[in-house]
Amino acid sequence: MIPPGTAADVSLAPLRVDHLRQEQGFTCGPVALLMAMRAFRPEIPLPDALAIWRESTLVASKATSAEGLALAAARRGFHARVLRERIGPPFAERIRGQGGEMPVLDAFFDDTLERARRAGVLIERRAPAAADVLTAVEGRTPCLMLTDAHRFDPEESHIPHWVLALRREGDQIVFHDPQLPAGPTLRPAKALDDLLGFQDDSALVVVAPTQRF
């Protein structure tokens, strides 16, 4: 019998995972990552969401970074790839406007980035595009996508938000949105470019159980 998680264990069946809702307003990234990992390893415990948040938070803000989420995935035995054009902490102007301590933000982000690189996280400094999301989900590698919460739920404010792109079904992309009580959520593949990113920052975190990129 081939152990789960090995390259030979990968099938052509579409990836599926139970929807999880975030219990705190700041854990969308950790919950999205938890769903991505549980698509391959369902035994990962649900309480891990707060542990992931502690590992990936920006400290000066409750938000989580792509680099921190990728590091959390790597620490749990997954391969992670970050696509993000901007250098430096995300949401810096927003955090500054909320009175965040910028030296703390910069120092902690730099440390997270270095730890992610040492853990083997692949970091590409370029803006992600719709084609990157399609390539990931069609290759059975779910990806965390930074977006504006308002684009997925018009009742939400314009705030940075992480969702999970899981698979493609025809001309639709199947998402799990942690802020919603149930899922999945479908969006047209042709709308991906409009869904990607928050203000002037965009990021993807692609997660796989074996090296695929």
What does the pLDDT look like over 168-209, one tens digit per residue? Answer: 999 999 999 999 999 899 999 999 999 999 988 899 999 999
- What is the model's pTM? 0.87
Q: Cα separation of 198 and 34, whole Å?
A: 21
pLDDT for 61 equals 63
Enter the tokens of residue 188: 């047209």
In the chain, where the domains are located: 18-208
CATH of domain 18-208: 3.90.70.10
Report pLDDT digits (tens) over 101-141: 667 777 878 889 999 999 999 999 999 999 999 999 999 99
Mean pLDDT value of segment 11-19: 80
List helix spans (H) across 18-168.
Answer: 28-38, 48-56, 66-75, 92-97, 102-118, 130-138, 149-152
